[in-house]
Structure 1
Amino acid sequence: MGMFDNLKDKATDAVDEHGDKVSEGVDKAGEFADEKTGGQYGEKIDQGTDFAKDQLDNLDGQDDDIQ
Structure 2
Amino acid sequence: MDNLKGKAGELKEKASELAGKHSDQIEHAVDKAGGAIDKATKGKYTEKIEHGTIKAKGAVDDFAHKPKGTGAPGDPTGPAPDGGRGPNA
TM-score w.r.t. structure 1 length? 0.79
Query: Among 15, 22, 30, which residue is 1:18 paired with?
Result: 22
* Structure 2 counterpart of 1:42, from 34, 41, 46: 46
How many residues in Structure 1 have an aligned counterpart in Structure 2? 65
Alpha-carbon RMSD across the aligned residues, in angstroms, is 2.1
Unaligned 5+ segments in structure 1 are: none
Q: Report 1 or 2 for greater relative contact order, CA contacts < 8 Å, sequence distance ≥ 6.
A: 1
Structure 2-normalised TM-score? 0.61
**In the alignment, residue 39 of structure 1 is paired with which amino acid?**
G
> Identity over aligned residues, as a percent?
35
Pick the aligned partner of 1:60 from 64, 71, 75.
Answer: 64
Structure having the higher helix fraction is 1
Cα pair 2:38 2:46 within 8 Å, conserved: yes
TM-fit CA distance, 1:8:
2.9
Which sections of structure 2, spanning at least 5 residues, go unmatched?
1-5, 69-75, 78-89
Inter-partner Cα distance in structure 2 for 1:6 and 1:45: 33
Q: Greater CA radius of gyration, 1 or 2?
A: 2
